[in-house]
């Protein structure tokens, strides 16, 4: 099983504060509590590299993680639920759009979808926004450890039909899907 050394680099609120480097970058899009931090921790084979929480909406900045100088993961605030003012949500949206549309290092967006549930309305809205700007995107299904192994393929096929493009399963609990995700991130 392949693992890369991973480290937290910096948090940024907006594009002008993002680190200056040339590694391929993969921003994580997903609803609050979809498992973005667990995805990072699972890839790094570390429990507490990215902070996890049972309270949705804890991530409020763009958090950058370097994986062995091969690629960067940018953990973005989750969409859908956050106990913050409308003003704060509007500011996040403006800053995140600026980042997603203008960051040259972005190789592809990664939209995380909870494999236990149907694709949600705000997941579809995010996908429509991504398509409107013709941005590259792949889908990773999180929490696959809750899906019986016999249903893995049907869950993946269902999401492929609904969203299109590449869809990969992932579990932060049992690393059985990591290899395919690493192949994608390393461009193999």
Question: CA–CA separation, 134 vs 165, rounded Å?
Answer: 13
Residue 128 has pLDDT above 90, yes or no: yes
Q: Cα separations (Å) of 172 from 6, 40, 108, 126? A: 15, 8, 21, 23
Residue 161's SS3 state is: helix
Residue 93 has pLDDT above 60, yes or no: yes
Task: Report DSSP letters for 73-141, one per residue.
Answer: EEEPPPBS--SS-HHHHHHHHHHHHHHHHH-TTB--EEEEEETTSPPPHHHHHHHHHHHHTT--EEEEE
21-30, 79-88, 131-140: least confident range: 79-88
Q: pTM score, two decimals?
A: 0.92
Per-residue pLDDT, 59: 60
Residue indicated by tokens 């991973």: 6
pLDDT over 70 percentage in the chain? 90
Per-residue pLDDT, 116: 95
83-87, 98-102, 141-145: least confident range: 83-87
**25-43 mean pLDDT:** 93
The string over 83-99, giving b where at least 16 C-beta atoms fall within 10 Å of a residue's C-beta and e elsewhere, is eeeeeeeeebeebbeeb
Pair 34, 142: CB distance under 8 Å = yes
């Amino acid at each position: 099983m392949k693992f890369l050394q991973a480290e937290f680099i910096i948090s940024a609120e907006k594009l002008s504060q993002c680190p200056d480097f040339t590694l391929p970058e993969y921003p994580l899009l997903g609803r609050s509590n979809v498992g973005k931090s667990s995805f990072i921790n699972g890839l790094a084979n570390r429990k507490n590299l990215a902070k996890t929480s049972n309270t949705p909406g804890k991530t409020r900045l763009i958090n950058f993680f370097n994986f062995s100088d091969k690629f960067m993961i940018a953990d973005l605030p989750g969409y859908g639920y956050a106990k913050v003012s409308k003003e704060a949500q509007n500011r996040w949206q403006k800053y995140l759009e600026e980042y997603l549309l203008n960051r040259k290092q972005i190789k592809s967006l990664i939209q995380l979808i909870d494999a236990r549930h149907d694709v949600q309305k705000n997941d579809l809205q995010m996908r429509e926004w991504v398509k409107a700007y013709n941005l590259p995107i792949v889908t990773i299904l999180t929490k696959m450890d809750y899906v019986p192994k016999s249903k893995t393929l049907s869950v993946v096929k269902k999401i492929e039909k609904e969203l299109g493009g590449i869809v990969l399963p992932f579990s932060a609990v049992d690393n059985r899907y990591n290899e395919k995700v690493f192949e994608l991130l390393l461009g193999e």
